[in-house]
Structure 1
Amino acid sequence: MEISSDSEEERSVTPTKKRKLHYEQKYSHLWEKDQKFSGWVKKSNKGDYYFYCESFKCDLKCGEGKRVLKKHAESIKHKSIVKAAVRQPTLTSMLPKSSSKSFTDKIKSGEIKMACFLAKHNLPFSLADDLEDLIESVVPESKLASKFTFGRTKAHAIVTNVTGKVAENQLIKILQQNKFSLIVDKSTDRSSTKHLALIDFDVEDSFLFLMPVVDGIATSLHNACKTFFEEKNIPYKDNMVRFAADGTNSMFGHHPLSTLFQKDILNLFLIKCVCHYFHLCASYACKKLP
């Protein structure tokens, strides 16, 4: 009896092995970014411990996480469904691309033309909203007119960043390759910021650039012009043949801008602004009128 009691005590003393707890993997959105699973895996509506296979159109348990997804992706049935889906063209891919592209191009072209119309006739950009409504009311059956999204902000952006940049680049190419004349004028806006306007003139005048300057003295204006020409790779010392400006002190007075340009270009022909002379002549003529 004593022996049996001892054996029972030994059995009670020996420790029992603990069972390993099994944790199920929750769905991770990082799986969607993995190249092996992207395109067919997404979160299931069934719960956090399920994933949805778009190929099978069913919900499956996440289980051990990526191992389950890899096993599912390597299954023969899954591979065959994915291959069939790749071969099957979508409705959008069967549509002719040229027609849709040309339609969007027509919309862009129409909006650019409206913006150019406002700029050409010196009209305020605030008319852009009314102009769009006017076109839609004139041709209500037009699908193109109904797709216009033209407002004052877009009109300003088109003129500044699209047509303005294109025109500037075209003019710069002309100045890089041909002889040109330059009209310079200085002005001050309401915020007391001084601006220097550069105009290329020959047979036809073309507005070149408007730049803010620190002050209106000749050396600052000359440095601003020189910096602009160098940044745009315009060989002004070779291609610039005439210089015109008004009769202010900084242009044609004491140590003026015209003299500084003459030092750079020996054979530069100087012209005081003809428009200014015409204005003086007209004003004096008006004084003699009865």
Structure 2
Amino acid sequence: MSARESDDEGPSTPKKKRSYKQKFRNEWLHHENFKKWLRRDMKDPYRAYCIFCDTSMIADMGALKRHSEGNKHVLKAKPSSSLTSIATAFKKPSPSLDDKRKIAEIKLAAFMTEHKISHRVMDHLVELLPKAFPDSEIAQKIKMKRTKLRAVINNVLGTTEQQDLCTDLKRQKFSVMIDESTDIAAIKTMCVVVRYFCPAKGRIVSRFWDLIQIYGNDNTDHSSSAERLFDAVLKSFQDHSISLENIIGFGSDGWMLPKFTSANTLFQSESPMITKIHVKMNDLYRELLTTHVKPEHITSNLDEIDPTNEKHFKNLEDAYFGLGVQRQISSSDMLPELVIDLKERCRKFIIKACVGIRKRYSLNDPVMAAVSLLDPDNCVDTSKRPESLQRIFELLPRLVPKCLNEQQQIDDQWRKLPSLINKVDSSQAPDVFWNQILLKEDFSKLANFMLEILSLPNSNAECERKFSEINDIKTRKRNRLITNTIKGNILARQSILRNSANCIDYNPNEKMMKTFTDKIYKNEPLSDSDTDID
């Protein structure tokens, strides 16, 4: 036997076990015992790092456990543990199932309100939801038919919106605008809208405040005098503890309260137009006069020109009624007497428009003339701006601080305003411009004063928009809705559009959740008289 064969037949040497290095594993970062302190060692993929001990170690489960139980690590981890408990104490708890149910019901109410859906639909929808979503605990818990829906709209969405408005109106000076109308059920109501500077938006805003039924069901006094209506408006603010000192302006239709005037529909804009109205009204009146009045009689004092004075009229053939009329006359074989009749009718129409402007607007109103100088472009132009605000102070005493020192501060800031000509954009809307100035500490008093001027009413267009909204809510098929329910719907829709783009993005706030209790049924009608047909 050869030596080679002998070696092969002898006992074999055992193979040495190969060792593998463990790389750091990401799942360790989520391990309950490691997640607070364990990090990857960025210098070595085969090592781990403890942020408490500032120590690197091999990436091995056993090594991690041994480190976490070591005296040094336990001692270092104690302060972090106490900090974590403090953070946990302030962490907002997840909503309970009952809170989730309330949120769902409020969002459903917002959906029904925004889209003006009949409340009766809710009777079927609430029974459909648990069947459509049998695996949803929230859907099973929702119990909201039309009575509860009405209560949520009126006393959760509507009430919290009015509370938020109260907070604003107690801090800000505001104007009041009113209008009255008769709805499809022959109920006469008065719409109240407030106009003020909203710091959160940085803009002048108009918000619906109240809907007042002029003739109550138990009221035998069917008079609607100016004093009675005015008292009803003031009472609506006093009932919410809002100081009447904060009211700086009042606007309404001329036929309601003759001593007040409202602007022409030409200026029914949601943006502040008070600085432009005087110039625009004078320009419009002058343009209408030039069509039929001789140029030599059109003076700078437009208020003294009588548009009905025939002695100042142009000859009828010289009167200008626009290209449309001129082409109509020249392109047709009209008899001469018909041409004369057409021109006379056009002149009468323009004269009536001029008389209407004079009736509704004072062309020489000193307040409007002075306020027109406060347009942003004029404010920074030294050739157009008044040197002092003294004249404005005399014309608007309700807006001016009683303290002479504060008046002087406002006037000083006004005199220094041109120094900002290269730091602000005067081409922006007036309220945006003055909100920019408000952010500059040295001009804050002036900016607040100007924003109060911009809050003065220039039309009651917003009231008219609200009545259009009311007509969409109280239709022929929903003509039994009472005034309080309509008011709740308008306030609720206002809350939705003020806080979100639509009902999809609308999220109930903490105040709504606290208001949503059994007390929401208080003052709600128990019968079907306040509902709709379908």
TM-score (normalised: structure 1): 0.50
- Code of the residue aligned with 2:460 in structure 1: it is C
- Code of the residue aligned with 1:243 in structure 2: it is F
1:114 Cα deviation from its structure 2 partner? 0.6
CA contact (8 A) 2:175 2:195 kept: yes
Inter-partner Cα distance in structure 2 for 1:132 and 1:204: 37
The 1:153/1:275 distance shift into structure 2, 3 A limit, reads closer
What's the counterpart of residue 225 of structure 1? 233
Q: Do residues 272 (structure 1) and 279 (structure 2) align? A: no
Gaps of 5+ in 2: 1-92, 197-203, 216-222, 263-396, 400-452, 466-534
CA contact (8 A) 1:186 1:195 kept: yes
Q: Give the secondary structure class of the aligned counterpart of 2:99.
A: helix
- Code of the residue aligned with 1:250 in structure 2: it is M
What's the counterpart of residue 119 of structure 1? 113
Inter-partner Cα distance in structure 1 for 2:214 and 2:133: 48
Deviations 1:29-71 (CA, angstroms, capped at 9, x unpaired): xxxxxxxxxxxxxxxxxxxxxxxxxxxxxxxxxxxxxxxxxxx
CA contact (8 A) 2:251 2:261 kept: no
What's the counterpart of residue 241 of structure 1? 248
Inter-partner Cα distance in structure 2 for 1:130 and 1:107: 18
1:275 Cα deviation from its structure 2 partner? 6.4
- Code of the residue aligned with 1:227 in structure 2: it is K
**How many residues were matched structurally?**
171
- Code of the residue aligned with 1:112 in structure 2: it is I
CA contact (8 A) 1:196 1:212 kept: yes
Deviations 1:77-136 (CA, angstroms, capped at 9, x unpaired): xxxxxxxxxxxxxxxxxxxxx99x811111111111111111122222122234334543
CA contact (8 A) 2:189 2:213 kept: yes
1:138 Cα deviation from its structure 2 partner? 4.0
1:205 Cα deviation from its structure 2 partner? 2.9
1:273 Cα deviation from its structure 2 partner? 2.8
- Code of the residue aligned with 2:247 in structure 1: it is M
1:276 Cα deviation from its structure 2 partner? 9.2
What's the counterpart of residue 173 of structure 1? 167
What's the counterpart of residue 250 of structure 1? 256
1:181 Cα deviation from its structure 2 partner? 2.7
What's the counterpart of residue 150 of structure 1? 144
Inter-partner Cα distance in structure 1 for 2:137 and 2:460: 51
CA contact (8 A) 2:176 2:193 kept: yes
1:161 Cα deviation from its structure 2 partner? 1.6
- Once the two structures are overlaid, the 10-residue window that deviates more, 209-218 or 147-156, is 209-218
1:243 Cα deviation from its structure 2 partner? 3.1
Percent of aligned positions that are identical: 28
Inter-partner Cα distance in structure 1 for 2:102 and 2:114: 18
What's the counterpart of residue 72 of structure 1? none
Please give the residue correspondences for 1:1-290 in structure 2 after superposition, counting only pairs within 5 Å: 102-189=96-183, 192-202=186-196, 203-214=204-215, 215-237=223-245, 239-247=246-254, 249-251=255-257, 253=258, 255=259, 266=398, 269-274=456-461
- Once the two structures are overlaid, the 10-residue window that deviates more, 126-135 or 113-122, is 126-135
Inter-partner Cα distance in structure 2 for 1:276 and 1:232: 21
The 1:276/1:227 distance shift into structure 2, 3 A limit, reads closer
Higher relative contact order (CA 8 A, sep 6+): 2
CA RMSD of aligned residues (A): 3.3
What's the counterpart of residue 73 of structure 2? none
Deviations 1:181-237 (CA, angstroms, capped at 9, x unpaired): 322111234554432211123433322111222443211111111222222221233
Inter-partner Cα distance in structure 2 for 1:103 and 1:123: 27
Q: Give the secondary structure class of the aligned counterpart of 1:205.
A: strand
The 1:245/1:115 distance shift into structure 2, 3 A limit, reads same
CA contact (8 A) 2:177 2:457 kept: no
CA contact (8 A) 2:252 2:260 kept: no
CA contact (8 A) 1:194 1:216 kept: no
Inter-partner Cα distance in structure 1 for 2:105 and 2:185: 32
- Code of the residue aligned with 2:233 in structure 1: it is C
CA contact (8 A) 2:195 2:457 kept: no
The 1:161/1:193 distance shift into structure 2, 3 A limit, reads same
Inter-partner Cα distance in structure 2 for 1:178 and 1:212: 27
Gaps of 5+ in 1: 1-97, 259-264, 279-290
Q: Give the secondary structure class of the aligned counterpart of 1:227.
A: helix
Q: Give the secondary structure class of the aligned counterpart of 2:143.
A: coil
The 1:103/1:256 distance shift into structure 2, 3 A limit, reads same
